[in-house]
Structure formats: C-alpha cells, structure tokens
Amino acid sequence: MKQPPQKKDGPPVASSVAASERGVDRPVEKERKKDLPPPRMQFDDESRVDKAKRRSLLNQPEARNRVELFRHLPPHKNGSQLPYLESKFFELHEMHPSVYKVGLQYLTGDTSGGNARCIAMLQAFQEAIRDYSTPPEKTLNRDLTSKIGGFVSFLIECRPLSMSMGNAIRFLKSRIARLPLTLSESEAKAALCSDIDRFINEKIVLADKVILRHAATKIRDGDVLLTYGSSCVVEMILLYAHEIGKQFRVVVVDSRPMLEGQKQLRRLVAKGLSCTYTQLNAISYVMHEVTRVFLGASSIFSNGTVYSRVGTASVAMVAHAFHVPVLVCCEAYKFHERVQLDSICFNELGDPDAVSKVPGREDVNYLDNLTDKQKENLQLLNLKYDATPSDYISVIVTDYGMIPPTSVPVIVREYRKEYLLI
C-alpha cells in the first residue's frame, strides 16, 4: 500500500509555532497556507511520476541503478537533456528567451550557488514581465501568475529549485496577487519590475553588505579562517576583511566531485590573501590550527538546521570537536519554515558518473571497465546537499544581526510578514 505523499512544508509546524498568538494571527496563517508551494513530488510514487512525465516539457531520463534510500528524490537531469532541449529551441512559444537561457545555464551547471541562481531567475522574470502583454479577456493577475508558474515548472525541470529561489517565487506571486486592479497594465508591470529590483537590492545586496560588516568584526588579526566550498557571501567577507586591513590567512577546503573551492581559491589568491588549499579528507589534520570556521548556507530551517553543500556537516562536526567556533553566514530571505532532521528526506541528486571519474587523472579509472553484470550491483550516489544540526553551529550571521540557531523561527515568524504585507 503506497502512502500518499506527505505535505512537506508543514502547516502543522506553523500552527504549533503560532499557537500562542492564535487570535490575531489566524488570518495571516491562512494566507500563509495559501502561499505555501504545492507538496513536493515523491518520485517513488509511480502514478504521479507518470502524470508528471506526460505533462513535462523535457524528457525524463530513465532511472538507472538508483539507490533505494534516495529513490524518492528527482533523478538527476544528465547531459542527455541538453540536445533535446536544444532541438526544441524554437518551438517553445510560451517560454521567454531569457527564462530559457537561465534554464539552460542551470541544466549545464553554468550557474550555481543560491544567490546567483536566484538573481538570474529574477532578472529573467523581470524581462519576461517587461515583454508581457495581457491577452484580451484575461486579468493581469491571474494570467501573469499562471505564466510565471509555467516558467517555474520549466526551471524545475532543468534543475530542482533551491530554497532561495522558492522564497523569491513566493514573494513574486504574492506581489502579483496584491496588485490593485485599478492599475493599468504598464503601471502594473513597472510596479512589479521595481518590486523585483527592490527584492534583489534589499534582500540580497544590502543584506550582504550588512553581513559583511557584522562578520568582519569577528575576524581578529592573526586568525586562521577555514572556509568550505564556494560561498559568495564568505568570499565577500574575506575580501572585505582583507581590504580593511586585517591580517589573517585562509584555509580553503574543497571536495570532489564539484571541486568548487578551486574557483574561490583563484579569486582569493588573485586579491592577495594567503591561502591554503586542501580537500575534505584532511579536515581533521588541518583543524587544529584553525581559529574560526566560516560557512555559507543554501537555507536554514526552523529548528536551526543548516542546509548547505554536502560536506558542510562534516566540517562543522570536526570544528565542534576541536572547539572551533562555526559561523554560518546566510541572508534572511533563505530561511524556511520547514523542519528537517536528516539529509535524506529532502535533497538533490547530482550526476552519478561524476563520482567515478577524477578530473585530470586518467589513470584512476577503476570503475570504467565493469561488465554490465557487475554494474548491476554497483549504485553510484552523488548527493548535493546535507543538513548540519544546530548543535554544531555557534552563531548565524544574517542581515538582522548575529543570532543563535534557535532564533531562526523567530525571524521567520516576525519578519516574514513584512514582505507579504507591503
């Protein structure tokens, strides 16, 4: 008997948190329930997968040798999608060219990282809104919302949404829904575009500047800072601290298969910071000389769990064991009401073949010559994200200040209303 897919973002969570404020906040809760994104599709539910396949624009690849435990996650869109999408380039009428371009960039991995993906998507939506014109006999609100919904489904098929993107889409849809009906079309479009600009400026750009200032106060001269992977906020913090004259050195920890730290390393070294580069296997050897750990996050959940690039949990755990403070730097728009206890129930799968190849080392190819019979017994797993429990985090630096992990639900509750009600 198959269980119906669970509603992932919990109205039960929201209502338990708001239990004390029942009277005043009832209408707000109801609105929040309406705005919650639809339940995520569980990919081990056959009937839903088939229905989605029929509705989708892209070819779903065949599921091949997937790990049992992660079968509920959407399979990785490997490179075979790209030719199919390319051949359909001129046939997708509903798709705006900039949305298409952003989708292609997600699919090929040209754009990655929560902030960058969110900004790229919002800018593409801005252009789509500018080129939009209401068809006759339809209202702007409903038609534009459904168009944006179409764009979002396309982007999801290219690559599953990140939390930051999900929050941004929710913001945009609520802004569209709140447009007064008396506005003319050009005024409405201009208002929406300026709202998007304001979102980017306030929630990302200004937030980053505030985070820079806060975090730089935590860096002292003579510090050895450790960072993992490639987070744009952490990189900005390091560069800013270097500019204002603090003396420190950086240890960049990297991991296969993405090797994102190399790009960050190149940029840091180009600016003159003294850096050390190592991989995740050496984390416990390096940690004894580290004084602070700075990590970025894709999202932070309501119980303080940090959802970030896979490997972050290990770094935080080792740092905790060595009594090194861990600072997570994350803008507040990435917070989410969801509660997640492990890395399994919600994650993203990457390309399994990337795990079996080491770039630049052609001689390390032990998995290339397996027979098909052997391949049946081997399942390759490439997870993109993991969840770090809040016990390992010392402080979270956000644009609302430096808060302990237990204060995240407060920010979600108090400040989430702000952009829903404006």
Among 33, 51, 271, 375, binds other proteins (CB under 8 A): 271
Choice between 12 and 109, CB closer to other proteins: 109
Instruction: Note whether 208 binds other proteins by CB under 8 A.
Output: yes
Spatial contact of 82 and 107, defined as CB atoms under 8 Å apart: yes
Choice between 62 and 86, CB closer to other proteins: 86
Instruction: Note whether 110 binds other proteins by CB under 8 A.
Output: yes
The minimum distance between CB 104 and other proteins, in angstroms, equals 4
The minimum distance between CB 112 and other proteins, in angstroms, equals 6
Instruction: Note whether 205 binds other proteins by CB under 8 A.
Output: yes
Among the residue ranges 18-26, 39-47, 84-92, 180-188, the one whose residues contact other proteins (CB under 8 A)? 84-92
Number of residues in contact with other proteins under rule CB under 8 A: 39
- Rounded distance between C-alpha atoms, residue 71 and residue 306, angstroms: 23
Instruction: Note whether 198 binds other proteins by CB under 8 A.
Output: no
Over the window 348 to 387, marking each residue x when it contacts other proteins by CB under 8 A and - when it does not, the resulting string is: ----------------------------------------
Choice between 45 and 202, CB closer to other proteins: 202
The burial of 130, by beta-carbon neighbours within 10 Å (0-12 exposed, 13-18 middle, 19 or more buried), is given as: middle
Among the residue ranges 108-116, 281-289, 314-322, 328-336, the one whose residues contact other proteins (CB under 8 A)? 108-116
- Rounded distance between C-alpha atoms, residue 352 and residue 96, angstroms: 31
Spatial contact of 70 and 347, defined as CB atoms under 8 Å apart: yes
Among 17, 58, 73, 120, binds other proteins (CB under 8 A): 120
Instruction: Note whether 419 binds other proteins by CB under 8 A.
Output: no
In the region spanning residues 209 to 238, those forming contacts with other proteins, defined by CB under 8 A, are 230, 232, 235
Q: Which residues would be at the binding site for other proteins (CB under 8 A)? A: 82-83, 85-91, 97, 100-101, 104-105, 108-113, 115-117, 119-120, 200-201, 204-205, 208, 230, 232, 235, 263, 266-267, 270-272
